Structure 1
Amino acid sequence: MAAEGDFLMRYRAVSNKLKKRFLRKPNVAEASEQFGQLARELKQQDCLQYAAFCNLAMARCEQTLFNAPGEALALTDAARLFLLSERENHALRSPGFDEHLQAALNCYSFAIKVYIEMNQPVMAASLCLELGNALKEMNRPGEATVHFQRAAELQTQMPVEALLSLWELASCKILTRDYDGALVVLSEMQMMCQERGLQLPGTNTPVGAFMDIVAKCEISRVLLLMLLEPPPQKLLPEHAQTLERYAWESFDSHSQVSFLPENIFLLLQSVVMACQEKDIDSLKSLQTELWPLLSAEQNHLLHLVVQERITPSGQGV
């Protein structure tokens, strides 16, 4: 309580310096520096929310001084402190109403807005990603999707970075069981790679990082299609085209998807066939073979596919 009382006294003392007096202009720059010093001291004392409030006061001072970079930095510091305070509360299982998280969201939102007004979309996107990753780690993937989507929109001039943000978006949709939404995002990513990515001369095969992303998207899309089993009349052309490549009749189809390693392509082709034949034993065997070749998320999707075949009613999803 003593520390809290000392904080309030010093905070009010600095705030009083900002009050307008007759024929005397307040020294906003000095007040901003003092708020910053108080924030640093409180952070060292592990009084995170109080330090965040001081950074907010500092941001208001920088706004008054028309110092947008300083305002954005102070808002970002406040957001991170509020977020850290929220994480500590969760770790201690303290009861609350997520008030520190809400404060962090507001601070991030204002900082992003300032960076956009400064025509710095890269900085704005980095904060969107930072917030999205924090929410995902806190087991709030549904709330994180908005921020990953915003990051991708701000990264239009950086296709690889935009694709990585969209990958996180698709991952969050899978975590929230929005498999249709994840399929839409992954299909959009694959199209972006083929339209905007570097390609081998005379082909439509992406190279480098774009090839890696297309390969990951292809595997996840096939597994999602096996999980969702859309009826033929509702199958979109791009999804029908994908499944055609994995039909047993198309033995030369691997030449069309050379971005996939041959062993994974053949195993996926076998998975599609086993799903169509409802051959559960073959699916389990293929799951064992594919397990070391897929990511944790892809293995989760494959597990759902197998469970859906075991329990066709949908209880396995």
Structure 2
Amino acid sequence: MELAYWESYKAIAQKLKKRFMRKPKYDVARDEYMHLARELKKEGAHQPAALCFLAVARCQEAMANNTAMAKYTHEAARLYISSVQYDVYSAYLPLADCIVDATNTYLLAVSMYLNIRKPSLASTLLLELAGTLYDLQLFEEAMLYYRKAHTLQQHTPLVALATLQRVASCLIALGEW
């Protein structure tokens, strides 16, 4: 499936190349990437599916649909995280690359939500990322993203307090409290 997936991905990307006096058909490419992403997700190939969702987000960006672009980037980030969690449970060793991909995709989605003035969604994504890092016992990184989420939660004091409690639990886990 890996080879077939890559060939399909490249074929869709080839259709997007500009031709003389013709604009690329981003809506058609978006639908094809979406179909491929759903197939891969169904088969459990989370990383390739995440790559396809990022391609869908790029198509949405080209069509100037920022909300959908943020949504599909978020979906890609979730797939990267589920890939990381699957790799942890299957004792797959090189997790660092998966974690970096997941973190970068989450941060991209956070910046997109901040650009469209939706700080509560950005904060939720940061909490989601921090919770996953905490579960993976990466307490220092988790604490960093809990703190970033806290800065975005100024209008929701109860959630901000709960986030500070998570920061404290990270400090305790690190032995710095």
Tell whether the structures are fold-level matches, with TM greater than 0.5.
yes
CA contact (8 A) 2:88 2:95 kept: no
Pick from 134, 138, 143 the counterpart of residue 132 of structure 2: 134
Q: CA shift at 1:129, angstroms?
A: 0.4
Q: Which whole-Å CA distance do the structure 2 matches of 1:131 and 1:72 have between them?
A: 16
Instruction: Name the amino acid aligned to 1:6.
Output: A
Whether 1:58 aligns to 2:59 is no
* Structure 1 residues not aligned, in runs of 5+: 180-317
* Cα distance per residue 1:229-266 (max 9 Å; x no partner): xxxxxxxxxxxxxxxxxxxxxxxxxxxxxxxxxxxxxx
Partner residue in 1 for 2:17: 19
Relative contact order, CA 8 A, sep 6+: which one is greater?
2
Taking the aligned partners of 1:94 and 1:114, their CA distance within structure 2 comes to: 31
Q: Runs of at least 4 residues of structure 1 off by over 3 A?
A: none
Aligned partner of 2:73 in structure 1 is 75
Normalising by structure 2, report the TM-score.
0.97
Q: Does 1:28 align with 2:26?
A: yes
Spell out, residue by residue over 1:198-226, the C-alpha distance to the aligned partner (whole angstroms, 9 max, x if none).
Answer: xxxxxxxxxxxxxxxxxxxxxxxxxxxxx
Between 86-95 and 76-85, the greater mean CA deviation after superposition: 86-95
From 113, 116, 121, the equivalent of 1:115 is 113
Residues in 2 aligned to 1:62 and 1:107: alpha-carbon distance in whole angstroms: 16
Alpha-carbon RMSD: 1.0
Distance apart, 1:27 and its partner CA: 0.5
* Helix, strand or coil at the partner of 2:78: helix
Counterpart for residue 44 of structure 1: 42
Aligned to 1:171: 169
Q: How many residues align?
A: 177
The runs of 5 or more residues in structure 2 that have no matched partner are none
CA distance in 1, matches of 2:155, 2:88: 37
Identity %: 34
Give 1:97 deviation, angstroms. 4.8
How far does residue 95 in structure 1 lie from its aligned partner after superposition? 2.2
CA contact (8 A) 2:87 2:95 kept: no
Q: What CA distance in whole angstroms lies between the structure 2 residues aligned with 1:13 and 1:168?
A: 45
Of Structure 1 and Structure 2, the greater helix share is in 2
1:211 corresponds to: none
Q: Is the 8 A contact 2:84 2:95 kept in 1?
A: no
